[in-house]
Amino acid sequence: MKLHLTSDSITIHVAENSSHYLHVSRVLTYSIGRSFWVNETLINFETPHERQRRRAFLSSLYYTCAFASKSHNASFLEKLLLASTKPIKLVKKKRQQHSFHTPMALNDPYTLLNADETESLESIRQKYLSLAKAFHPDSIASDDVSIVKNFTEKFQKIQEAYAIIKAEKMRKLAA
């Protein structure tokens, strides 16, 4: 996920297969401002009564990106928060077929949780909780059966991946 600030908008670039994409699009669509889709881009306009929630959302996005890139730019965060009244554009990046559909990527619990084998169990747990919250079937605002089914399957895979990693890490601690 990448944040880009221009003179007329704030743009969020995120892969469509990312757990962040569903979360960000859901927040922009249902929680803050007024949103509409133009082709593959969700555009969200600020409303005055949502200003604090919008700033909190942008701040959390910044910290998610900073954590992923292992960098922090306080001046960018300040500019981002000052520009919080500008329209937010969510641009969906198409997934790359060759890298996403490898059997290892689909079956590797670390890949499913966007984690690394060297991370602590607590760090992985935080990622698990974030993904579990994003994909929990009860959090869906849609009555579409296929969407509910997809969320349920993803949620179950996330739970299984965490259980595998947790058992592996506990075995290593006990040894």
User: Using one digit for the tens of pLDDT, what is the confidence trace for 23-48?
Assistant: 888 888 888 878 877 877 888 888 87
Select from 47, 6, 49, 1 the least CA-distant residue to 22.
1
Position 98 scores a pLDDT of: 39
C-alpha dihedral (114, 20, 137, 55), degrees to nearest 10: 130
pLDDT in tens, 129-145: 988 888 888 877 667 77
pLDDT at residue number 47: 82
Residues 6 or more apart whose CB falls under 8 angstroms from that of 26 comprise 141
- CATH class for the region spanning 97-174: mainly alpha
Stated as kind and residue range, the H or E segment containing 79 is helix 74-82
Q: What is the reported pTM?
A: 0.53
Q: What pLDDT does residue 107 have? A: 72
pLDDT of residue 95: 53
- The structural domains of the chain, with segments of one domain joined by +, span 2-93, 97-174
Query: What pLDDT is attached to residue 124?
Result: 92
Q: Which residues of the chain have pLDDT under 50?
A: 96-105
How much is the pLDDT for 157? 92
Q: What DSSP element (H or E) covers 29?
A: helix 19-30
